[in-house]
Structure 1
Amino acid sequence: MRPDSALHDWGLSNSGEFSGHKLTYRVGAEYQIDPGNMVYASVATGYKPGSFNDVDPTKPGSGSTPYGAESLTAYEAGFKGRILPNLQFNTSVYYYDYSKFQLTGSTFLTPNLTGGSPLVLIYTTIVPVKMSGWENELIWRPTPRDTLNLGLTRQGGHFSGDAYVGFIYSNQQNFKGKELDLLARTTIRGSYEHRFDLAGGGNITAHVNTTYNSGYKVSNYAGDGNPFTGVYTVLPAQFTQKSFTRSDLMISYTTASGKFSIDAFVHNIENKMQLLGAPQNINPGPIDNPTSGTADRTTVRVSDPRLFGVRLTVRY
């Protein structure tokens, strides 16, 4: 992603070292209300080692420079229980404090920043991030052949401090306060399964599920423009995936011996596709109004369209 010749022109080698360590822990407690119900809580820390950037843009001629480790403190509390013989309910809340989160993107360094040839770098910085959520699951088995599963999730996450992004290093944009990618505020899930027992010992199982997603953001951290003048034609920005549903259906037949089964399925019944990443090419707006740039739809990464088929399984 960056020319080695430019590193050599800068008098640098493409090598570096990083070492680090951290003592992590997890402390938890649980209380058994009765044989079928319990509450629990935990606090845990997480650690992801750092690495190194080819250069430090703030120090021309610096060579390979380490960036720090990712650090997380996670808090969780919840309830798991069988509130009726055929009804199970699980609920939990969580809060994740990423005091140090590794944010990676591409950036361009002009000769006045490098002291030599221009450089395109994959550059990682450390920024603070916070996430929180509430997750619920209800499993009901009204008969031995029927299962209803319902779920509800509420969550959020954002850059809680300065988070500078942008391909033009001399004119980076602050994403402080912006939402994290692909994080829907509300998700509702439902599924139903029924098994038909046949006289010969085999069975047919019908399963349907659907998910409602309230929508989420995807980010173009780079933007586009002239890195030598420091002017963006398209600013780094977030794009919104609107709310949607995705549903699946499957019908399976299994022989009495269990050795053979055949499944017919349809995934994404709605045949709607959703954004999985920000546009890679942008139709730029005028230089005096870069926010008017629009997405080039031919370069957007999306989810799978409707998929249907038949699958045969042989167990031996």
Structure 2
Amino acid sequence: MKSGRKIQLIGASAIALMLAGAAQAQDTTPQSEAATGGLEEIVVTAQKRSENIQKTPAAVTAFTGNALVQSGTTDLRAVQNIVPGARFQQEGATTQVILRGVGSNLDFGAIEPTVAFNVNGIFTPREGTSQPLFDLDRIEVLPGPQGTLYGRNALGGTINISFKRPTHDLETSAVLEGGNYDLMHATVVQNVPLGEGVAARAAIDFTKRDGYMESGAYSKDDIAARLGLLFDRTEGFTAYLWGQYTKRDGSPSNLVNKGFDPVTGQFSKDAFLRDRPWDDLRVGAFADPSALPFGQPIAEKQKYNLYNFGAQFDLEVADGVTLTYVPGYFHLDSNSSYWLGVIPDYKEDNYRLITQELRLSGNSDRLNWLAGLYAYTQKTYGYSFVGKASGPFGFIASGVLHHRVKGIAAFGQATYDLNDAWRLTAGGRLSYDKRKGSGISPDVGNPLFTFEKSFKRFDYKIGTEFDVSPTAMVYLTYQTAYQPGTFNEAPSTPTFSNLINSPKLSSITGGFKSRFLDNTLQINVEGFYYKYNDLLLQAYDASKPYNQVFNAKAETYGVQIDTVFQPTPDDRLSASLGYLHARNKEFAVPGLAAFEGLSLPYAADWTINVAYHHDFHLSNGYIRPAVDARYESTYFADFVHTPGTNQKPTWRENASITYFADTNKWSAGLWIKNITNKAVIAATAAAGIPGPATAYLEEPRTYGARVTFNF
């Protein structure tokens, strides 16, 4: 298809979808914190500077910490329910992050995510995405390649988490929840002023519940503690230091069989072995010893100890010029046992990551700019074993015993105002990365392998924005991103190189952001086209001990429309409609031509998010009933569309009713999630007995009560 034709299709889709109506996820901020004269202004830092989200030339989705609490969002996996075109799905201790079809579903020790997850501006590795979300200031989701400002691993976009900083007020707050599966959840926060220009903030989050699965697996017993310190005594200088410890116990989720109908004895793509899909035990003919080589699945154990620390120092060196330094440290030891259907599995990951970013930023009447340096060193160990050494069989699935990747980068970006309405943006990033690894290959004979290679890359961004009116802006942006290449877990030979080329993505995005009807109606539209070179894929063949990871080409285009309508201070309707055409185009290994043109993993063509709430006023407060729903069309978990790895089109609905005191000191309410108890697959692979697939599942129907305090 010619590029002009593609752009025409994107534009036509945008018009068609806008006529269909659409929107953004619900903002559940209590009324006392929301604007009463129309839609509130939301400030984001997606471009590493504070700016109105309606003036940011990108489809940023942002939520305040209070909105996340009232929607019951306590981890990244729940965020996908309120973000357009996103899949944030569980895979053991990992959360697979996929934006607009771009993401990695490979969790080997040498494979890194393709969407950057940042905590207080500090990159966080893959297993860190499952840490709990509590006492947050905001979360921002920015789709599309972000190679200029965020560097490696931002091919598909970025997710930015910001904790609430200490303030100079004495404050105590808490969130208490209880629900089915014996859920107990509590967050307690204490903010303390420690003198002139010094404050501290401490928070503890605890979650415990029974397992969703019949064996008792998929349970939680987690605790996290955080301490933050703020120093702003000296004019023009601010220091924010923080540290967090997270410990996760409980039992990991087991995978259930998918794609085999026990009644007919035939493969059936949507079938589970049990009427309740979360039942991971085997009965009847499937309990025959020949079908249970290791016995019945049980609730296994996990170890997850995460220490992450960071800081941000801001110094005003001149009028309108600020020097910022952001150091970070990430330390994780994680291992877990779980069942792939009726086969036990063990996985271990260990991370040591040091990051440093130094940037200088400034602004004048017409120019906003920043320039910076970035450096990191990451050491990892990744190992997994399928089966048991004492069982009928067992094999290494991944054996990266030593892995180090380090790099430096110089970057900059500037926006120049040509006049009061027209702006130009340009930026670039020069990166140097070096990867070194060794380990035990899963291939026949388990030979040792080594790898060492350096990578260089220049990514850039060019964009323009134009204010059509004081409340409407159009924009057009071209930008690129890359990820340093990696290796297959096999030794290189004269006829085989274990090098996997660097994934690269370039994009064209264009859209408009607007508000109408006296600031009560917001309509944002973005069309996009992505060219994806050297995408990492893996074709699974159960007859082979090791399945090679290889490069491929893909093409993605689509449109996203976000709309919010607040006709009165008491009513708010929001919705999002996304169309995504994400298809693989060409493979670097022979024999896969039959799969060209199929959709990428977890890339639903259509997604819809809708939400509504209304406030009923009482003498001393108000009651807010709220409902929201998410629709995804069918998608597959692998690029060859193996039967059983598909998810049928699904609506999932949530509801809540909450009483807010007028003083904003407390609230109480009831909530229910996944009302119709839909079974939706998360990480899924072509494997299992009888197969053809095994799948993690998202949460079943849950319900409970929530109380919040703020004194």
Fold-level match, TM-score > 0.5?
yes
In the alignment, structure 1 residue 79 sits paired with structure 2 residue 521: no
Contact persistence 1:107–1:123 (CA under 8 A): no
In the alignment, structure 1 residue 136 sits paired with structure 2 residue 561: yes
Matches of 1:250 and 1:6, distance apart in 2: 49
Matches of 2:469 and 2:583, distance apart in 1: 39
In the alignment, structure 1 residue 43 sits paired with structure 2 residue 463: no
Q: Which residue of 2 aligns with 1:254?
A: 660
Change (3 A) 1:144 1:236: closer
Contact persistence 1:47–1:71 (CA under 8 A): yes
Which moves more between the two structures, 269-278 or 17-26?
Answer: 269-278
Contact persistence 1:49–1:70 (CA under 8 A): yes
Matches of 1:27 and 1:220, distance apart in 2: 32
Change (3 A) 1:55 1:30: same
Change (3 A) 1:7 1:95: closer
Change (3 A) 1:90 1:152: same
Amino acid at match of 1:300: A
In the alignment, structure 1 residue 179 sits paired with structure 2 residue 612: no
Q: Which residue of 2 aligns with 1:315?
A: 710
Contact persistence 1:97–1:129 (CA under 8 A): yes
Q: Which residue of 2 aligns with 1:287?
A: none
Q: Which residue of 2 aligns with 1:188?
A: 608
How much has 1:183 moved relative to structure 2?
Answer: 1.5
Contact persistence 1:70–1:102 (CA under 8 A): yes
Q: Which residue of 2 aligns with 1:92?
A: 526
Change (3 A) 1:270 1:211: same
Matches of 1:183 and 1:50, distance apart in 2: 24
Contact persistence 1:7–1:13 (CA under 8 A): no
How much has 1:208 moved relative to structure 2?
Answer: 0.5
Q: Which residue of 2 aligns with 1:305?
A: 700
Change (3 A) 1:109 1:67: farther
Amino acid at match of 1:75: I
Q: Which runs of 5+ in 1 are unaligned?
A: 111-119, 166-170, 222-234, 284-293
In the alignment, structure 1 residue 197 sits paired with structure 2 residue 592: no
TM-score (normalised: structure 1): 0.76
Choose which of 500, 505, 519 in structure 2 pairs with 1:67: 500
In the alignment, structure 1 residue 14 sits paired with structure 2 residue 421: no
In structure 1, the residue corresponding to 2:646 is in which secondary structure?
A: strand
Q: Which residue of 2 aligns with 1:243?
A: 649
Q: Which residue of 2 aligns with 1:280?
A: 687
Contact persistence 1:252–1:262 (CA under 8 A): yes
Cα deviation 1:197-230 (Å, max 9, x = unaligned)? 3212x22211101122222122286xxxxxxxxx
In the alignment, structure 1 residue 161 sits paired with structure 2 residue 586: yes
Contact persistence 2:560–2:576 (CA under 8 A): yes
Amino acid at match of 2:477: S
How much has 1:315 moved relative to structure 2?
Answer: 2.4
In the alignment, structure 1 residue 101 sits paired with structure 2 residue 535: yes
Q: Which residue of 2 aligns with 1:34?
A: 469
Change (3 A) 1:13 1:182: closer
How much has 1:57 moved relative to structure 2?
Answer: 7.3
Matches of 1:217 and 1:8, distance apart in 2: 30
Matches of 2:607 and 2:532, distance apart in 1: 23
Q: Cα RMSD between the aligned structures?
A: 3.0
Matches of 1:57 and 1:177, distance apart in 2: 31
In structure 2, the residue corresponding to 1:17 is in which secondary structure?
A: strand
How much has 1:95 moved relative to structure 2?
Answer: 0.8
Contact persistence 1:163–1:174 (CA under 8 A): no
Q: Which runs of 5+ in 2 are unaligned?
A: 1-396, 400-439
Q: Which residue of 1 aligns with 2:633?
A: 214
Choose which of 45, 48, 52 in structure 1 pairs with 2:487: 52
Contact persistence 1:278–1:301 (CA under 8 A): no
How much has 1:8 moved relative to structure 2?
Answer: 11
Contact persistence 1:220–1:279 (CA under 8 A): no
Matches of 1:314 and 1:304, distance apart in 2: 27
Contact persistence 2:670–2:706 (CA under 8 A): yes
How much has 1:96 moved relative to structure 2?
Answer: 0.8
Matches of 1:16 and 1:43, distance apart in 2: 34
Matches of 2:686 and 2:709, distance apart in 1: 43
Matches of 1:66 and 1:310, distance apart in 2: 52
Amino acid at match of 1:67: I
TM-score (normalised: structure 2): 0.35
Matches of 1:207 and 1:247, distance apart in 2: 11
Change (3 A) 1:265 1:152: same
How much has 1:74 moved relative to structure 2?
Answer: 1.0
Contact persistence 2:626–2:657 (CA under 8 A): yes
Matches of 1:94 and 1:108, distance apart in 2: 37
Amino acid at match of 1:81: S
Amino acid at match of 1:310: A
Change (3 A) 1:295 1:6: closer
In structure 1, the residue corresponding to 2:555 is in which secondary structure?
A: strand
How much has 1:275 moved relative to structure 2?
Answer: 2.4
**Higher relative contact order (CA closer than 8 Å, sequence separation 6+):** 2
Q: Which residue of 2 aligns with 1:232?
A: none
Calculate percent identity across the aligned residue pairs. Answer: 27
Matches of 2:644 and 2:593, distance apart in 1: 12
In structure 2, the residue corresponding to 1:20 is in which secondary structure?
A: strand
Amino acid at match of 1:150: A
Give the count of matched residue pairs: 273
Contact persistence 2:676–2:701 (CA under 8 A): yes
